[in-house]
Amino acid sequence: MVSLDVCVQVPDAVSKDTGRIRIAGLTPDSRIIVVASLKAGDTIADHEFSFGLDDGMRLAEACLSGDRRALTSPGLARKLSATLAILFRVCVQSGAI
């Protein structure tokens, strides 16, 4: 079990359980992005996937360059969405935006 600094919290649109949310956050060392599902009121989430912040950056750069392999990466939209949402929140909280 790993602690997580939750940056983003949205309703879980996939689950039939209306009390579930999807969270995205950073591990305490701010190097790993974690996406998980959580039932409202719980403190332990169900891990869905995680990846390095640097991996998210490399994937975004490859997509921007037009790399066809990167553009068809499994989970591309969710990885880039999690990266963008977390970085946006961190920037806003720090006053950079």
Tokens of 19: 């009390």
Tens digits of residue pLDDT in 25-48: 999 998 999 999 999 888 899 999
Residue 14 — very low, low, confident or very high, per pLDDT cuts 50/70/90? confident
Angle in degrees, CA 1, 23, 33, rounded to 5: 65
d(CA 34, CA 8): 11
- Burial annotation 41-54 (CB, 10 A radius, 16+ → b, else e): eeeebeeeebbebe
Whole-angstrom distance, CA of residue 2 vs CA of residue 17: 24
Q: How far is CA 26 from the centre of its chain?
A: 8
| Domain boundary assignment for the chain | 5-94
pTM of the model: 0.87
